[in-house]
Structure 1
Amino acid sequence: MNLLPDLPASSRPDQAAEEAWIEDTTRKIRHAFLKRELSAEIVQAKGTPNALLLHFRGSDRLTVGLLEAKLGELRTTDGLDIISVRPGLGVVIVMVARPNRLTLTLPDAWKNWHPKAGPNTEILIAIQENDNSPLYLSPYPQPHTLVAGATGSGKSVLIQTIILGIASTNSPEEAEVVIIDPKQGLDYMGFEKLPHLTNEIITSPDDALHSLSELVAEMERRLRLFRESRVQNIDDYLRKGKEGLPRLWVIHDEFGDWTQNKDYSDKVTALVNRLGQMARAAGIYLIFAAQRPDNTIFPMILRSNLGNRLILKVDSAGTSEISVGIKNAGAEKLLSRGHLLALTGSSPELVYAQVPYVDGPTVEQVVARINQKYPR
């Protein structure tokens, strides 16, 4: 299945310059380790669009704890911009930031994506840094998703990539998208003609409450249908060949903008808590985004149901812990512009990844192709 129109792939780095940079950075970091009497046996060195990944053999003289204690020194004295230090099987994995990052484009990310025919719920959203494998977002086993990131982190680009992935691999009868955006829909104007949109992009709190109320009613209608058909969820219902029900992807950007108003906060809390607890069986999946998703923004019941965590660069270690749900996750050290820490139902461990760059013209070209395929 050809998912994209003819879009240019990103340029590749000069191979000789790439090898020289890897060799020079490897030499610097080994020297820095050895002068501090740390073991520096390298098992693997590999460049990624954002960094150099170095796998050091773990030993009593090189542990994650020993390195973390030296990070400030390595940065200030040796000029090593170390993004993360994490354990692997018999190794310590060190990620050193590139001085000049490479751009990952949508064609690069999607070139080997061949989703199955029919309804698709595995959406390719990024490329993992550890092994260049695709990172997918799926409502199985975790149905709902939290996206967090500061201004400039790439939060809107990630959401745009998710929308393009849904619409490029599903017909409007298989998947519909609801977009709620307090920023007047400015980041999503290119999707206004998308045939998968259930209605116009929602930009007012009253319209958002109305739409969420309709979603609760639709969820309850579907659950009644399932009971009458003696099935438990949308998958069983569709397998029985019953009336086609599209999956509904509900995207609410900047969720915290309107919750400062107590009246709105009280009403939206009741609605999203109900959806968070019961919507997955009905084929309704929530993707909620915020800069700082603390308990003043997200109701506790909703946040506990946002099992997929897609976290871009945040403003502090405290926000990182709140967003990822893990202490010392390090999302405050990410590089912005789509550099991602992901915790999804498909992986029990944190994954570093890069979201492809998507600009306005790319969105318009892909949406135009989708419109040609599914004319209204």
Structure 2
Amino acid sequence: MCLMARMASPPMNLRRDAAPMAQPKRHEVAGLILSALAALTAMALLSFDARGGADWAGPVGRRVAEVFATALGTASLLIPWSLAVNAVRMFRRTTRPIAIGRVLGTLAIIATAATALHLWWGDRAALGGLMAGGVLGATLGDSLRASVGTAGAHTLVLTAMLVALVARTRLSVVSVAVGARSASAQGGLWLRSGVGSVARAWRESRHATPSPARPPRERPEELAERAVRPVIDDANTPEEPDEAEQDGRSLAEIMLDEEDRAASEAKPARRPRSMRRKPVEDVEAEAEPVVEPMPFDDDEPAAPPPPVKAPRASAKASAPAKEPAAPRVTAPAKVTISVEEPAPPAAPPAARASTPPPPATRRASTPPPPRPAVAESADEDDMLPVEDDEDPSAPLTIVSHARAIEQAMRSASVPVEKTAVKHVDTVVRQMAMPAVSLLAPPPPNRSTFDEGHLRNTADRLVRTLSDYTIDGRVMEIHPGPVVTTYEVVPAAGTKLTKISRLSDDIAMSLEASKVRIVAPIPGKGRVGFEIPNTSRQMVYLRELLETEAFRSLGGALPVAIGKDVVGAPFYADLATMPHLIVAGATGQGKSVGLNVMLTSLLYKRGPEDVKMLMIDPKMVELNVYDGIPHMLLPVVTDMKKATLALRWVVDEMERRYSLFAQTGARNITSYNEKVIKAVAEGKPLRGLDGPVRPKESGTTTALAEGESSEAPPPRKLPYILCVVDEFADLIMVAGKDIEAAVARLAQKARAAGIHVILATQRPSVDVITGIIKANFPARIAFKVSQKLDSRVILDQQGAENLLGKGDMLILPPGSSDLKRVHCAFVNEDEVQAVTDHWRAQGKPNYDEDILKPRDEEGEVDEAHESDIRVPAEKYEKAVQLVLSHRKCSVSFVQRYLGIGYNVAARIVDKMEREGIVGAPKGPGKEREVLG
């Protein structure tokens, strides 16, 4: 029994040997399991698509990939990578017990990677059509950006990632820095050595002057023996010509050159020790023997020798011998030279060395440098591409300007066209401009697009064109906030009119609401197809005003409008337009566009710079601007008063031109410059015939009637912006009178600083007549219902294919090329906040004379004298003042009574009508007192 028990039980040493053998098997099993999990997870993630598609790992793998991709985005690919690393460690039997630090380090690396991907890529679709950083990256990234800003968030995430890598792996920042420094130093040495070798070879090939007939190449030993022969000999036969004179160099020069090169280059034949020991002074004293040039190996280029003075026969004979490397290049394999006229073979060597070669020989001895592969490549970037020669195999390019534009808008990199109008100020602004915080901010990270969807749409567009026998290829895709532009190069011989008629057919094929075709794109040999995006991006006014480009925007009346088709901000100057027509169907963004332009103007110009006159028949669109100090009078809602207001604007234009003529100014800019100069010198504004006095209101002008010393200081003329909403209703009520007034303003008011904006929702030929269109070169068209309406506004089609809700076409002045812009959005509360800011800083100074009836000459009708009746007390005091001092002038009455210029002028005019004073005698002369 004991024997059987012993046989049944294994030996003790066998059990001890089996224990260590089980450990590697467990490692291998664990490694195989981890490898399978890594492979399945990788296949599930790489094949996952939220919009559907093939799932390599089945429904279970799709579910797992959906969880990981939604939570971590592209950073979820680190999970199979981590499993694979652990599997390798299992196979290598280098595993250690599970430590909390390593687990936390791995999780930190994944979390920081997801956050970094979200900060870099935003909401753009990545793995499986989901966000690049997933929900975790978006949460952490947006929280960091809101707390410390974009730059601070990038800094913190990068620091956290480095800390996690250092803690989890064997990475050392110091080791990486030392390695990078060593690599850069080694690369610098290599580059310096390479450049030096190329430079030496280039100098040798440039200065090489080989003889036409070359002797056979000699061995290095023979060359060295010939080189030192004159020094070893005692020079007993000085009458024999020395062949070394063709170099024209003394032995001292040769020895100095060789000693300089001996430390860095290996010589094919070393000079004898006795030669190196011989002093240079002793060598030069021995009748200055010359030496034949010392050839050297082809693989060892020679450096140019240092300049050493040596006796020369003549300056002309020494000229060719001064070229340092010319006699040293003897390798025929390196330089191939053809000489037309070889040297005469009978000439002695010394004569050949002392005589410069003929000009033809010298030119032939230096071959021209090789021409570049592309001629005149320096101007390649400034040349327009030749569309006919485009490579059909070139890959499709998706040009996304949104991210670059957002970064440039934050760092002031968007180019803005400067206006020629110079803005001048005469007084320091006492009013603060409104802050952009009054406007609603845009949501962060809105610039995203689906690259797969764009390429799919491009393929469908090409197939649709081929269905109509139009061959072409999509070359570039430009995603924008509202539409995406596909640039197509049609085949040669394709008529553009055939493409332009397919907008509706292409819209139906691509399942789009509207497709606008630009055939051709200005400046390119391509056709642009503007296809609406699946999700529109709203443009906020605040993001346009926060840019450095808007803050530095010049011009007299700068305004922000919106963004173009690639997402670039679009600004304009109303003074350069100089008048604008805004038209479109009801509810397509016309009123919002007016509010955007007016609100942005209030962010750039104060009441001393611009005055506004608004006409609003609907009584609800522009009443929000009532009470701001920019207004000349409250918003006009009565059509009869609107006619009077426009007639006053015409009269104001004529008065300004009269003032310009008296002062010698050509326009409002030059007049204001004269005002600035007069104020700086403390002198009155002088005209061609004497001093000129503008009225106190700053909007009307008149000649001074008193002494020049009594003239008040001049003030600059502000710009006047006349905004007319619902111009169609005004035409229906007033008819031709309104049209004539608007036409006169459009023809002449630009130089006077008066600019008009006409807005209408009925763009018909009886509203926007030919006279008005001829004088309104700048026009904005929102979406219209018919092609005829688009032709009335823009003189061409296109507005009927717009998308509405702020989508517009702008016709710049002096051009027929339309520019598509998506108007910015500003709500009523934002406009109210901006106008409240201005109301809190000052009250408007209304001019009630604007709405008073006028005669044909523009003067106030005497039949309505009760409207201009002066106070009785002021009039009696003025009469007593004039009779007691026996002098009368407007400035005299104004100064002594402490009243305004307008009231003083009316008092003096009343005294003239009553016979108390006489008529004015001219500028600078007082009236005669009759009473």
Cα-to-partner distance string for 1:129-161 (whole Å, 9 max, x where unaligned): 146242414322x31111110001111111111
2:742 is aligned with 1:272: yes
Q: Within 5 Å, which residues of 2 pair with 1:161-180?
A: 161-180=596-615
Match of 1:333 among 801, 804, 811: 801
Q: Distance in 1 between matches of 2:529 and 2:645?
A: 46
Q: Which residue of 1 aligns with 2:480?
A: 48
2:647 maps to a residue whose letter is S
Q: Which residue of 2 aligns with 1:245?
A: 717
Q: Within 5 Å, which residues of 2 pair with 1:204-243?
A: 204-241=638-675, 243=715
Q: Distance in 2 between matches of 1:114 and 1:75?
A: 36
Q: Distance in 2 between matches of 1:123 and 1:365?
A: 18
2:580 is aligned with 1:145: yes
Give the Å deviation of 1:95.
0.3
CA pair 26-236 structure 1, distance change in 2 beyond 3 A: same
- By percentage of residues, which structure has more helix? 2
CA pair 158-145 structure 1, distance change in 2 beyond 3 A: same
Q: Distance in 1 between matches of 2:795 and 2:567?
A: 24
Cα-to-partner distance string for 1:63-105 (whole Å, 9 max, x where unaligned): 5333223333323344244421111202111100123321111
2:782 is aligned with 1:321: no
Moved more, 193-202 or 62-71: 62-71
Name which one, 1 or 2, has greater alpha-carbon Rg.
2
- By percentage of residues, which structure has more strand? 1
Match of 1:191 among 608, 618, 625: 625
2:811 is aligned with 1:375: no
Q: Which residue of 2 aligns with 1:125?
A: 561
Q: Which residue of 1 aligns with 2:280?
A: none
Q: Distance in 1 between matches of 2:534 and 2:567?
A: 21
Q: Which residue of 2 aligns with 1:349?
A: 817
CA pair 117-350 structure 1, distance change in 2 beyond 3 A: closer
Please say if residues 273 and 299 of structure 1, whose CA atoms lie closer than 8 Å, have aligned partners that are also in contact: no
Give the Å deviation of 1:62.
5.6
Q: Within 5 Å, which residues of 2 pair with 1:49-68?
A: 49-60=481-492, 64-68=496-500
Q: Within 5 Å, which residues of 2 pair with 1:288-299?
A: 288-299=758-769
Q: Which residue of 1 aligns with 2:465?
A: 33
Q: Distance in 2 between matches of 1:144 and 1:197?
A: 19
CA pair 14-107 structure 1, distance change in 2 beyond 3 A: closer
Please say if residues 53 and 94 of structure 1, whose CA atoms lie closer than 8 Å, have aligned partners that are also in contact: yes
Moved more, 274-283 or 70-79: 70-79
Q: Which residue of 1 aligns with 2:506?
A: 74
Give the Å deviation of 1:26.
2.6
In structure 2, stretches of 5+ residues that fail to align are 1-432, 677-714, 844-931
Give the Å deviation of 1:368.
3.0
> What SS is found at the alignment partner of 1:139?
helix
Moved more, 13-22 or 224-233: 13-22
Give the Å deviation of 1:181.
0.9
Q: Which residue of 2 aligns with 1:254?
A: 726
Match of 2:591 among 156, 165, 168: 156
Give the Å deviation of 1:48.
1.4
1:363 maps to a residue whose letter is V
Q: Distance in 1 between matches of 2:581 and 2:646?
A: 17
1:375 maps to a residue whose letter is G
Moved more, 148-157 or 73-82: 73-82
Q: Distance in 2 between matches of 1:117 and 1:54?
A: 31
CA pair 117-91 structure 1, distance change in 2 beyond 3 A: closer
Please say if residues 127 and 353 of structure 1, whose CA atoms lie closer than 8 Å, have aligned partners that are also in contact: yes
Give the Å deviation of 1:295.
3.5
Q: Distance in 2 between matches of 1:15 and 1:225?
A: 53
Give the Å deviation of 1:120.
3.0
1:53 maps to a residue whose letter is T
Q: Distance in 2 between matches of 1:127 and 1:357?
A: 11
Please say if residues 180 and 208 of structure 1, whose CA atoms lie closer than 8 Å, have aligned partners that are also in contact: yes
1:99 maps to a residue whose letter is T
CA pair 138-222 structure 1, distance change in 2 beyond 3 A: same
**TM-score of the two chains, using structure 2 as the length reference:** 0.38
2:555 is aligned with 1:96: no
Q: Distance in 1 between matches of 2:751 and 2:599?
A: 24
Match of 2:515 among 65, 83, 104: 83
Cα-to-partner distance string for 1:237-259 (whole Å, 9 max, x where unaligned): 11222531110010001101132
2:717 maps to a residue whose letter is L
Q: Distance in 2 between matches of 1:353 and 1:81?
A: 18
In structure 1, stretches of 5+ residues that fail to align are none
Please say if residues 559 and 573 of structure 2, whose CA atoms lie closer than 8 Å, have aligned partners that are also in contact: yes
Moved more, 38-47 or 205-214: 38-47
Give the Å deviation of 1:297.
1.6
Cα-to-partner distance string for 1:181-206 (whole Å, 9 max, x where unaligned): 1101x122322232212111111111
Give the Å deviation of 1:7.
3.2
> What SS is found at the alignment partner of 1:159?
helix
Give the Å deviation of 1:270.
2.7
Give the Å deviation of 1:299.
4.6
> What SS is found at the alignment partner of 1:41?
strand
> What SS is found at the alignment partner of 2:622?
helix
Give the Å deviation of 1:125.
1.5
CA pair 164-36 structure 1, distance change in 2 beyond 3 A: same
Cα-to-partner distance string for 1:205-255 (whole Å, 9 max, x where unaligned): 111012112111211111111001101110111122253111001000110
Q: Distance in 2 between matches of 1:125 and 1:225?
A: 34
Q: Which residue of 1 aligns with 2:617?
A: 182
Give the Å deviation of 1:173.
0.8
Q: Distance in 1 between matches of 2:670 and 2:798?
A: 40
Q: Distance in 1 between matches of 2:770 and 2:629?
A: 34
Q: Which residue of 1 aligns with 2:26?
A: none
Q: Distance in 2 between matches of 1:84 and 1:319?
A: 16
CA pair 82-223 structure 1, distance change in 2 beyond 3 A: same
Q: Which residue of 1 aligns with 2:317?
A: none
Q: Distance in 2 between matches of 1:256 and 1:125?
A: 24
Give the Å deviation of 1:40.
4.0
Q: Which residue of 1 aligns with 2:36?
A: none
CA pair 187-333 structure 1, distance change in 2 beyond 3 A: same
Cα-to-partner distance string for 1:243-283 (whole Å, 9 max, x where unaligned): 3111001000110113223xx21322232222122111110
> What SS is found at the alignment partner of 1:282?
coil
